[in-house]
Amino acid sequence: MKRFLAIAFVGVIMPFISNAQDIHFSQFYMNPLQQNPAMAGAVYGMEANILYKDQWRAVGNPYKTFALGYHMRFEKKRTQKGFLAGGLNVYSDKAGDSQMMTTKATFSLNYLVKLNEHNRLGGGLQAGYFQRKIDFTGLQWASQFDGIAYNPSMQAGMTGQTAFTKFDMSTGLVWVYNNKDGDINVTDNHDLNFNFGVALQHVNRPKYSFIGTDERLPMKVVVHGNGVISISDTKMAIVPGFMYYRQGPAQEIYVGTLFRYLLSQDSKFTGFKYGSALYMGAYLRTRDAVSAKILYEYAGWGFGISYDINISSLQQATYTRGGIEFSLRFVAPNPFIKTYGANHSRY
């Protein structure tokens, strides 16, 4: 009975409870514009990414989320005090037995100020539209019990519009430190960089109801950070990170670290040898899941896999199985190139 109730909660009830909460990816660092518009161009001169997440397959129709993003810097002259960056981010999410689908497309614009040789401060805006759809016929209601059994011909317990489209806006700030910026030469495995950001999403609080009520999407506070700390005289680095969400009464704390092993360095002379690195580690989503992660980087490419192990009260239904997630990323310039001539820049 407990497992049946848990399955009902995940497959039927959860989509309605969570209809005012956003999607999330375990590999949030591979989808920066989903977190903060100020991340456009903040770390890389150009980045393109694709992510796919499949979760709750153990308890019925799985939740499937797909996202892709692209952002770049518009101005690259080293002498400038600041530069513009922008990008696009799109995602599609389908949830549970109701086939509740959210599709969203946004454009981000960010301006980054060069505070000094190694520090930048950025402020970004994001605007776009989302569409929400639902299929009421995929759900079963108490009103469809005819006294003997479930009768699908009887009227459902909830009716209303099956789709709506709304405008949405977000804003954010980010600070970035990178010891590879500026007129310095950085030898192998001496990375030290951090980024820390704060974002406020859904600042216009769009209406968010299938049944015509005045329910609005709550504003969402996002606080996030990542870093790379190389261990001198080794090929190892510590890559810590965290994410905090607060949206209405719901909150999420996600914290952990990866460990990077530098497999090879780019050749500075021939150009035929490309750098690569392997990352392994885990994150904890408090009271929900532990995420085991692997990331492999080769030149500008990165491929990641993570798996969420459910540790919440729903594990009676999921048998600890949460969801698997895949990511693919391409960045430029090549992050493994450590030395620059006078005419080169990491912008």
pLDDT at 204: 96
Residue whose pair of structure tokens reads 């680095």 in the numeric block:
237
Who's near 88: CB < 8 A, 6+ residues apart?
33, 69, 70, 71, 105, 106, 107, 108
What pLDDT does 115 receive?
93
Which residue type occupies 40? A
**In this predicted model, what pLDDT tens digit does every residue of 74-97 receive, in sequence order?**
976 655 789 999 999 999 998 766
pLDDT at 327: 98
8 A C-beta contact, residue 63 and residue 55: yes
Q: What tokens does 282 get? A: 């885990």
What does 93-118 look like in DSSP terms, one character per residue?
EEETTTTEEEEEEEEEEEEEEE-SSS
Buried (b) or exposed (e) across 97-115, using 16+ Cβ within 10 A? bbbbbbbbebbbbbbbebe
Per DSSP, the three-state class of 68 is strand
How much is the pLDDT for 89?
98
pLDDT confidence of residue 208: 85
Residue 181: predicted pLDDT: 64
Residues in the chain with pLDDT values less than 50: 1-20, 182-187, 270, 317, 339-347
In whole angstroms, give the CA distance from residue 294 to residue 315: 23
Contact by Cβ (8 Å): 90, 67:
yes
CA dist 137 and 150 (Å) reads 13
**What is the CATH T-level fold of the domain 2-332, as seen in this structure?**
Porin (2.40.160)
